[in-house]
Amino acid sequence: MKVDWERLARETAFEGRVVDVFRDTVRVRRDGDEREAVYDLVHHPGATAIVPLFEDGSVALLHQFRYAVGGEMWEIPAGTLEEGEEYLECARRELEEEIGHIAARWTELASIYTTPGFCDEMLRVFLAEGLSPGHLGPDPDEHLEVVRIPLDETLAWIEAGRIVDAKTIVGLLRTRDRLAADGRGIAGGGG
């Protein structure tokens, strides 16, 4: 199936601090059928998420308040790209701001659209290794606690439904797969 489309009109419904919302009128052509449709689009500048993997096999997770879901969630560190910022640069900044560490080695694990039904946010997930202390400095709107948990335990938390954040699930599962592909397996850990 090949879909051709063109945007006919765009109305700005909302301009926010992080996202803008547009109402687009679009002409869509598929298999000889042509229609006009209206789409609400949330524009997001993009983001990164990081799995900080320590030498002992533990990862840093954030237990943080998320207003949109009305409570706390377990998540890997993450953040929004600043204007003109590259994904890896954002990941480096967010790792240090949120858990107070810097990494010697970076591996891109995945690039995902977070919610493609209505949002254009592209999120890149990185594995950060060779961690050493840096400077902690969370943003004023972040209410979080940093906890180190063995990677194998986080995988059990996914299975049990304790971790429900999509980027965190993707990051932890891709880390497991990367370690297996590198012949490293999953070490227990703690701290």
pLDDT (tens digit, 9 = 90+) per residue, 116-165? 999 999 999 999 999 999 988 766 776 789 999 999 999 999 999 999 99
* Residue 139, pLDDT score: 67
**pLDDT for res 127:** 98
Q: What is the pLDDT of residue 149?
A: 97
pLDDT at 135 (0 to 100): 87
Do β-strands 47-52 and 122-133 pair in parallel, antiparallel, or remain unpaired? parallel
Among 131, 161, 158, 160, which residue's Cα sits nearest to residue 146?
A: 131
The predicted pLDDT at position 187 comes to: 57
pLDDT at 189: 45
Encoded tokens for 190: 């703690």
Residues of the chain with pLDDT under 70: 138-139, 142, 187-191
Q: Is the C-alpha dihedral spanning 78, 83, 86, 92 positive or negative?
A: negative
Q: What 8-state DSSP symbol labels residue 157?
A: H
Instruction: Return the CA Rg of the chain.
Output: 19
Q: How far is CA 23 from CA 11, 12, 37, 118, 124, in A?
A: 5, 6, 10, 11, 26
pLDDT at res. 2: 87
Ordered by where they begin, the domains of the chain are: 3-43 (no CATH), 47-181 (3.90.79.10)
Give the end-to-end CA distance of the chain in Å, rounded to a whole number: 51
pLDDT of residue 44: 96
Taking the model in full, what pTM does it have? 0.89
Q: What is the pLDDT of residue 142?
A: 66
Nearest to 45 by CA among 16, 6, 70, 82: 82
Q: Give the Cα separation of 55 and 162 in Å (integer).
A: 24
For the record, the structure tokens of 60 come out as 């840093």
- Asked whether 129 and 103 are in contact (CB, 8 A), the reply is yes
